[in-house]
Chain A
Amino acid sequence: MSQVVEQGSTAGEGEVHSGLRLRSVTKSFAAFTAVDDLDLDVPSGSFFALLGPSGCGKTTTLRMVAGLETPTSGTITLSGQDITYAKPYQRPVNTVFQSYALFPHLDIFENVAFGLRRRKRPDVKKQVEEMLELVELGSQAHKKPAQLSGGQQQRVALARALINKPEVLLLDEPLGALDLKLRRSMQIELKRIQTDVGLTFIHVTHDQEEAMTMADTVAVMNQGVIEQLGAPAELYENPHSTFVANFLGQSNLIEGAVTGRASDVVSVDMHGIGVSVPAERCHAGGDKGWVGIRPEKVLIGEEGEALDAPGNTIPGGVVTDVSFYGVSTQYLVRMPWGQELQVFEQNTGRRRLFRTGDRVELSWRPEYAFLLDHSQDASAGSQRVAE
């Protein structure tokens, strides 16, 4: 959470913040704490993603912003106004529900008009028609929700929320029910609409790829707290915890002992092999740590082969598995200390494919490596595929 204050808050305390701000928000259900002392700032106009495995507290956070849950403690402000205890129908926040929650007894037009009618806005017909055009459903206005396909229902749910021009639009895994192809096109669509209307979007998802492609800021949540927050590339390239390293993409984490700290570089002894990590990518304080390197940053070569990677070279590997993916090849390489490391290599055609049993050596550029706290579980966050 200290990370959040470092990176997330652009406006200083006390100043009126134009976006959404959560301060020390906690939500407990009986013995279970879903959200634990959370601080969060979402600047207005941003596309913000809350990413985490199921049960991490992201949906509870979203529901507290929507007013569907009340925080156990803490405050939520929107454009400087305290909305912590405001009823859902009293706050300028709308939600696109995971199951869409379209009213089955009302047609598409009336579903979209629902919010306007409740607030007695004029020009309902014109606004609804415009909104339906925006989501390309103008011709479906008088059908019932059950008559539409999943993708169309998703767009109705979006239109029904957007038409109210909320200050913040909440999206609760809105693409979860769609198949992969539709998901991709809806992701682009959503991004386009967000840019068009310029509203603040908060998108809750457990799909790291979705969060990274759509959002300009991603907050990775785990067990009720935010692990790390930042731009997608920054999170991916420089993860601060083993959870983020594993949950966003894949990482090789190798145990090592810190042998020296210079102003810009940290030296680590990794099972007898000295490697270095840039100081700004070092997130471990003690004398031990996890050296992390993304599989696509690892180069693989024959023993003694000169590779384009001045710096960290680890000899003595044996290929134990080869998976050919077309664009790339994935190797598992058993290292002298028994650990298997992953290597992704682009199939550029310039290099030969290795076979199981080949003796190889690995290397990577020091600037790609990162160092994580040894007290963290090296496998944290890597089980997300099972969801």
Chain B
Amino acid sequence: MSETVRRRGRIGYLLLVPALLWLGLFFVVPLYSLVATSLFNADGSDLRGYQMSWAWGNYTDALDAYWQPLLRSLGYGAVATLLCLVLGYVLAYAIAFKSGRWKNLMLVLVIAPFFTSFLIRTLSWKLILADDGLVVNTLQLLHVLGSDGRLLATPVAVIAGLTYNFLPFMVLPLFASLDKIDHRLIEASSDLYANPFVGFFKVTWPLSLPGVVSGTLLTFIPAAGDFINVQLLGSPNQRMVGSVIQSLFTDANDYPAAAALSMILMVLIVAMVLVYVRRAGTEDLL
């Protein structure tokens, strides 16, 4: 009979208002500014000022000029997410079902490396994948790579970096889902003549779907918007939309184009997420 009683009254609002105000002012209002900026006249500049000219042309111009990085971002993001799912599932499954009393320690170890600077870790990969490094030399020896083949400045390096950097975003939700599964269900399925593979695909996998959906979203969204990996591990040939937006803002000072591209990225991501969530049948996640 002890239901949480939520008190009505002014205090609740007083507690909530500072945080909401902050998010409103510095998250919602900026989104509005972004939309507005994306419609400013393209020939303005920071010095001369901009006018709101409902310049929808900014969008078509941005798409014309940058459709390649845009598509590449979504593609690299998707491949990295898929790789994260495979690696992350193995790791999360091992922690949830096979780690015994080391469960918490392993979980802690999953997170620990990611408290070390993102940039420093990515620089590490640059060294590991370097042209005369161990990895490249081994692959050359095995003739996977040609004698002048390289990894840096290729899509492989960029996707490897993305996969590495966003792995915990996949592992943690997967683990949360898997850990909730009652082990007796899996035993029951084997009692009902399911071999381990059938048992996995008929019982474990469907029950872990909420974790799969939230893990893939949490991985895909930052991976598609990232530009650190492509900048440090790739080359201009692998330019992703994040780097375009950032250089349009900071180097070219072409705010309307940058804002338009930003909006396009966001709309694309939101659309993909909605379609994906609907198909996966887990709308209640949002």
Contacts and interface: CB of A to CB of B under 8 A. Distances in A.
Contacts of B11: none
A220 B1 CA distance: 18
B166 to A, nearest CB: 36
Nearest to B3: A29
B3 to A, nearest CB: 9
Main secondary structure of the interface of A (DSSP, over half): helix
Interface string A55-80: 00001100100000000000000000
Contacts, number: 3
Interface residues of B, number: 1
Contacts of B1: 59-60, 63
A60 B1 CA distance: 8
A121 B1 CA distance: 32
B4 to A, nearest CB: 13
Main secondary structure of the interface of B (DSSP, over half): loop
Interface size class of A (residues with CB under 8 A): under 10
Interface string B1-18: 100000000000000000
A130 B1 CA distance: 33
A59 B3 CA distance: 12
B50 to A, nearest CB: 55
B6 to A, nearest CB: 13
A176 to B, nearest CB: 12
Nearest to B1: A59
Nearest to A58: B1
Contacts of A63: 1
Interface in B1-48: 1
A59 B1 CA distance: 7
Contacts of A60: 1
Nearest to A34: B1
A63 B1 CA distance: 10
A204 to B, nearest CB: 10
Contacts of A59: 1
Nearest to A99: B2
B8 to A, nearest CB: 14
Interface string B241-260: 00000000000000000000
A162 B103 CA distance: 41
B91 to A, nearest CB: 30
A60 B3 CA distance: 12
A63 B3 CA distance: 12
B2 to A, nearest CB: 8
A261 B1 CA distance: 46
Interface string B141-164: 000000000000000000000000
B133 to A, nearest CB: 51
B9 to A, nearest CB: 16
B253 to A, nearest CB: 55
A143 to B, nearest CB: 22
Nearest to A204: B1
A63 B5 CA distance: 14
Nearest to A57: B1
A61 B1 CA distance: 11
Nearest to A97: B2
A101 to B, nearest CB: 9
A72 B1 CA distance: 17
Interface of A: 59-60, 63
3 contacts: A59-B1, A60-B1, A63-B1
Closest 3 A/B residue pairs (Cβ): A59-B1, A60-B1, A63-B1
Interface of B: 1
